Structure 1
Amino acid sequence: MTNTPSSPASTPTLLFICTRNGGKSQMAAALAAKHGGDTVEVHSAGTNPGTSINEESAAAIAEVGADMSQGTPTAIDPDLLCRADRVIVLGSEAQVEPVDGMRAEIDTWITDEPSARGIEGMERMRLVRDDIDGRVRELLDGLKSEKTRTVR
């Protein structure tokens, strides 16, 4: 999933990473694209990408007006790691090592896993989506604040 900005020089680049790149990182990217519009450039990738988008994840995202259905699991691009302003790893399973030239620190979001409490299916996906959505909104609000401080 990529949301291409109109003015890349002043637009933060976000890279969301998980293991398979079919669920959580794609969800985060879809939500960031929805909420951030052309104020952010959004990418997602996986440390060991699968072959398809998680259907329940896509359905949960669609419920809130975002779209990840056309996403394709993708491996991490080292050039994108260097170019990204924010690198966010979703979950503890994906391990991302910094590469020479990176300007962003690697941040990890540990999402509560409802299945550990016996919650499965769409109820699980909605809880995961809502947790990620809150974090994405907080990230975007922080980026707006940074931009406002820089402009002044």
Structure 2
Amino acid sequence: MTPSVVFVCVKNAGKSQMAAALMRALTGDSVIVHSAGTRPGEHVNALSAQALAEEGIDISGEMPKPLDDSIIREADVVVTLGREARVEPVPGPRFESWDTVEPSESGIDGIERMRLIRDDIARRVRALAADLGV
């Protein structure tokens, strides 16, 4: 059976989009991947898209999506990214919270900030994929 992962953040414009794209790039169709937001924004964060484009991954055409309870219930793993996203646990999926690096707290901004966040998320995605056996 193909494992399913849902990546959730507040706006579904940056971190969760990055995590989903990185998981898809790493695992292909070996993992069903969704991303969603608790309060979705209107478009993908341009710096997030730029940071992934540097790795050959294009998310410029993605749109933020609202969190759908049915996707949560059907998932094997639900990952919230960042400190603000909250998902009410339901029976079935494993829930993880990734308190990703926040370089802006150290005065790092712009594309440098996004590269650090991308690399942190990429490391976590690789570990999750390995844990899922793919």
Q: What's the TM-score bracket when you normalise by the shorter of the two chains?
A: over 0.9
Task: Give every structure 1 segment of 4 or more consecutive aligned residues whose post-TM-superposition deviation is greater than 6 Å.
Answer: none
Q: What's the CA shift for 1:105? A: 2.5
- The aligned residue for residue 62 of structure 2 is 71
TM-score (norm 1): 0.85
**Are 1:31 and 2:11 matched, yes or no?**
no
Greater RCO between the two (CA within 8 Å, min separation 6)?
2
Deviations 1:64-100 (A, max 9, x none): 122211211111111100000110000110111124x
The correspondence for 1:136, drawn from 111, 118, 125, is: 125
Counterparts in 2 of 1:91-102, with a 5 A limit?
91-99=82-90, 102=91
Q: What's the CA shift for 1:30? A: 0.3
How far apart, CA to CA, are the structure 1 residues paired with 2:6 and 2:61? 17
Ranges in structure 2 where 5+ consecutive residues have no aligned partner: none
SS at match of 1:144: coil
How far apart, CA to CA, are the structure 1 residues paired with 2:66 and 2:10? 9
How far apart, CA to CA, are the structure 2 residues paired with 1:70 and 1:106? 28
**Are 1:90 and 2:81 matched, yes or no?**
yes
Q: Which has the larger radius of gyration?
A: 1
Instruction: Provide the aligned length of Structure 1 versus Structure 2.
Output: 134
CA RMSD between the two structures: 1.0
How far apart, CA to CA, are the structure 2 residues paired with 1:139 and 1:30? 14
How far apart, CA to CA, are the structure 2 residues paired with 1:67 and 1:14? 20
How far apart, CA to CA, are the structure 1 residues paired with 2:87 and 2:23? 21
Ranges in structure 1 where 5+ consecutive residues have no aligned partner: 1-9, 146-152
How far apart, CA to CA, are the structure 1 residues paired with 2:13 and 2:100? 16
